[in-house]
Every structure is written in C-alpha cells, then in structure tokens.
Amino acid sequence: MKLPHKAHVAMVDGENFTLFRNTGQAFEPKLSKEEQPELNPTNFSAGVRHQDDVGKKLGRTQLDELAHGAAAAEWLNSKAIAGTLGDVLIIADPKTLGEMRQHYHVELKERLVGEIAKTLTGEPLANIEKAIASA
C-alpha cells in the first residue's frame, strides 16, 4: 500500500487507540508514535445491530468494545473537520472497523487513504510497517 509521507495511521481495537505518523517514504513506511487519544465512549447503542439472538445469549458482541470504536471514529471526525488531520490510514480489527465505518464523517472519508482490517495492536512497529507495505 502506498502510504503518503506524513500520513497519520490510526490503530484501533476494542480497547486501544494509538495514532502514528509515517515519517518514511510512500512504499517504505516508518512509523513514529504521535499520541494515544483519550476517548470517552458514550455511544453504547453502537453495535446493537450486530447482535443477533444467539450473540445476545452468548455475549459475543461486546458493546463496550464497539462503543470504543465509535468514539475513535468520532475523534478522527473531529480532527478531520477541524483540519488538523491530513491523510489517514485506519488499522482495526474487522469488528471495530465495521463499527467505525458506520460513523465516518464525509470529511474523514475524504482524507482516508486506506483501511486494513487486521488486529495489529501490541505488535512491534516493524511488523505494523511490514503489514502496511504489503497491503
């Protein structure tokens, strides 16, 4: 994947959200950690549509995790609307990414250079950079 120089990389899962910036070249990303935004997950109705009867009974859909994904999307939306977020790549586990997509603002969509539906939180930066380059 071509990741523009200075593009942001938002890595999200149901509990964590870390923002990186590409300080490398487009086809050879080098990530540096920018910040770990503090989120206030308040949208606990997020993800209700993901629950079927079996999922509700077995507790397979964690509303806290989906609310965190919605809060991450809202944070990214606010930065895109304010003009402080340029190109952005979003890396999230498939369930979180699916929830985030439901909350993308048009300003965020315009800045989106790609998405990777994979859990990479906790991985060394070299593995994340490799996953981006090969996507």
User: Three-state secondary structure along the chain?
Assistant: CCCCCCCEEEEECCCCEEEEEECCECCECCEEEEECCCCCCCCCCCCHHHCCHHHHHHCCCCHHHHHHHHHHHHHHHHHHHHCCCCCEEEEECHHHHHHHHCCCCHHHHHHEEEEEECCCCCCCHHHHHHHHHHC
Domains, the chain, ranges and CATH?
Answer: 8-39+68-134 (3.30.420)
pLDDT reading at 63 higher than 80: no
- Highest-scoring range by mean pLDDT, 12-16, 20-24, 56-60, 63-67: 20-24
Query: What percent of the chain has pLDDT above 70?
Result: 83
**What pLDDT digit, counting tens, does each position of 81-110 carry?**
999 999 999 999 999 999 999 999 999 999
pLDDT reading at 50 higher than 80: no
**What pLDDT digit, counting tens, does each position of 4-14 carry?**
999 999 999 98
